[in-house]
Chain A
């Protein structure tokens, strides 16, 4: 009996030991310097951060980079990380490990933030615009402005596409660095347009006029397919006026907090809905989204509106079966500035109480925004290189020669002003649903223009009120 008890206890102990041991090298180590003592980090001035990253003993600084890239985007991200580790990383004693976090990449971060669990936080994290509100007031956020303005920085603001800098700035200071950027584009079936003898429409009015013709004359089932979410609506608001319009107050959250809509007060929402009504009334518009890529590639739609990151996907699906192109989205008014705002994600640094890691994180972020890293996006991702010097590279020229449509999104961003920026919308998931539901109802004809306007304004106001009740501004 005693033997049995002993055996049982031993078995239980060995299982317990096995469970606690089976966790990899160090269960809580997600990236740290191997030594903090004796590091040779030096501040050049009282206000400039230290730039040297290796410890005095030449040990490697380990960084963790959380991203939510999947598919071909993940492959390119890993390639960028590998190149950094083999070049700048090797030279400066930094090694970066990329870790996938499911889109939008904030679940694990918010869980770690709630417990201030810095051991399980990343050094660098990829965040989309709608997630910036999580980090903008967080004490451990390391503002890119502190580094990019430094004399030692190899990356400068003027190296980047202007409105990508504005998109990642709050009160004129950069909180993150743009990294995976795309633009909303109009994809058109060139063959269909030629069949009806039309040019690519520049305004919504021009587009509405040709939609019935496309359906009547060509094999298209719909002249246009686009589901208008917050992303699409913001673009049409932001690109109005001669130099852009703000979607929300306080410069759409870039100069203080966005607490209310501005587009209902500056008439931009009304103007857009007035023009969009023409599209709805054409009878050739599909307001919902099914398999938009495949449907366009099969010739089901004359035009679709979606992100430029899908250019390589569409090229693969169409595979030469018809001529197609991309262009800036049609503007509300012919006098509007047009273009698009830079959508996508940036890189944000976190302070894990380690100066060497912070300096190393900046080196990594600079590299990821460099021409050498940014040109890799053209290898199948369709993102827009944010660094202006990317265009000088042979790889860039070769990529554009192979797929000239990839130049259009870049030109589209360059034609927009610094006021054409995405909004830092609080409670973004709720406002997105409000806008989507209202615009689908409008598109299907079950809501009038005025009802849609009211639904969007009131729904967003409620969403903001709910958000600031739970997250009061100090």
Chain B
């Protein structure tokens, strides 16, 4: 009993320490965002600001239109996350519950797209978007992020944990495919859907190269592009950059806090196939 208690305490302490180590970069970034320029690279280094200043946040918001960039990022990330979720669920439903000719080939083709580095396709994608007249549009920015093979794979693995007999029984009771999909499968899959949504949101939120390339109007830029405008190529001016980073982190952190329980549940699904 005593040993178990000691072990529990040890595990708690270790977990707390590990959490601090993992969170340290973000905590330090927040601390730097409140430091004066001289204090950032002082010797010995300052972990906490010797004198708290909000000047860096003022610079971040006055030097760039950070709010507009955040709005753009939010719109793009939201559209892409919803699109990915819709397309991935429908594709995974087909791959897991139906048998049809070419199913394995199509699935292999879908997975093979994961192996192509995105940077290789940037110029050809830009050519396509440019010729379609989609430069400086939200659709142009979203275009290459609307589908994710990883999400299709993840959902397909989750759907495979459902017994086929469940669908057969539903069919016998007069439940068509679309009804089974919307009334039975999706409600039960909320945790994994939350995970897919959040991971897509964060992934698209953090995109930099593509939004930079397909927009050449300031009002359409995204938050990651906006943060690069805060840096100074001639000096290590970390304060305003960290302030921009903290501001950019807020939406994703809030989303995680809102859905954290469902993320953990979603990660464990699909682990065992029956």
**A residues touching B (Cβ–Cβ < 8 Å)?**
19-20, 22-24, 26-30, 64, 66, 70-75, 99-103, 107-108, 111-112, 114-115, 117, 119-120, 122, 291, 293-295, 297-298, 300, 307, 309-310, 313, 316-317, 319, 382
Q: List chain A residues, Cβ under 8 A from B213.
A: 107-108, 111
- Do B130 and A103 touch (CB < 8 A)? no
Closest to B208 in A: A102
- Do A74 and B63 touch (CB < 8 A)? yes
- Do B137 and A27 touch (CB < 8 A)? yes
**A382 to B235, alpha carbons, bound, how many Å?**
13
**B residues touching A (Cβ–Cβ < 8 Å)?**
37-38, 40-43, 63, 75, 79, 122-123, 126-127, 130-131, 133-140, 142, 209, 212-213, 216-221, 225, 228-237, 240
Main secondary structure of the interface of B (DSSP, over half): helix
Partner of B234 from the list A99, A122, A310 (CB cut-off 8 Å) is A310
- Do A20 and B127 touch (CB < 8 A)? no
Q: A74-B63, A120-B216 are in contact. Are A114 and B127 (CB under 8 A)?
A: yes
Closest Cβ of chain B: how far from A116's Cβ, in Å? 10
Q: List chain B residues, Cβ under 8 A from A103.
A: 233
**A112 to B136, alpha carbons, bound, how many Å?**
13
Partner of B233 from the list A28, A70, A298 (CB cut-off 8 Å) is A70
Q: List chain A residues, Cβ under 8 A from B228.
A: 70, 102
What are 17 of the A-B contact pairs (CB < 8 Å)?
A19-B142, A24-B219, A70-B228, A71-B233, A71-B240, A99-B216, A99-B217, A102-B228, A107-B213, A108-B213, A111-B127, A111-B213, A117-B135, A293-B236, A310-B234, A310-B235, A313-B235
State the total of A-B contacts with C-beta under 8 angstroms: 126
Q: A111-B123, A120-B130, A309-B234 are in contact. Are A27 and B38 (CB under 8 A)?
A: no
Q: List chain A residues, Cβ under 8 A from B142.
A: 19
Q: List chain B residues, Cβ under 8 A from A73.
A: 232
- Do B135 and A120 touch (CB < 8 A)? yes
Partner of A108 from the list B139, B212, B230 (CB cut-off 8 Å) is B212
Partner of B75 from the list A20, A22, A300 (CB cut-off 8 Å) is A22
- Do A317 and B37 touch (CB < 8 A)? yes
Partner of A24 from the list B122, B126, B209, B220 (CB cut-off 8 Å) is B220
Closest to A98 in B: B218
Q: For the complex of A and B, list the 8 residue pairs with the smallest distance between their C-beta atoms, beginning with the closest.
A: A23-B137, A71-B232, A294-B41, A19-B139, A22-B138, A27-B137, A27-B136, A111-B126
Closest Cβ of chain B: how far from A147's Cβ, in Å? 25
**A297 to B43, alpha carbons, bound, how many Å?**
11
- Do A27 and B130 touch (CB < 8 A)? no
Q: List chain A residues, Cβ under 8 A from B131.
A: 115
Q: List chain A residues, Cβ under 8 A from B37.
A: 316-317
**A294 to B45, alpha carbons, bound, how many Å?**
12
**A70 to B240, alpha carbons, bound, how many Å?**
12
**A27 to B240, alpha carbons, bound, how many Å?**
31
Closest Cβ of chain A: how far from B238's Cβ, in Å? 10
Closest to A16 in B: B139
Q: List chain A residues, Cβ under 8 A from B137.
A: 19-20, 22-24, 27
- Do A30 and B230 touch (CB < 8 A)? no
Closest to A107 in B: B213
Q: List chain A residues, Cβ under 8 A from B136.
A: 23-24, 26-30, 120
Q: List chain A residues, Cβ under 8 A from B41.
A: 291, 294-295
**A193 to B172, alpha carbons, bound, how many Å?**
93
Q: List chain A residues, Cβ under 8 A from B216.
A: 30, 64, 66, 99, 101, 108, 120, 122
- Do B229 and A313 touch (CB < 8 A)? no
**A99 to B221, alpha carbons, bound, how many Å?**
10
Interface centre among B40, B75, B131, B137 (most CB of A within 10 A): B137
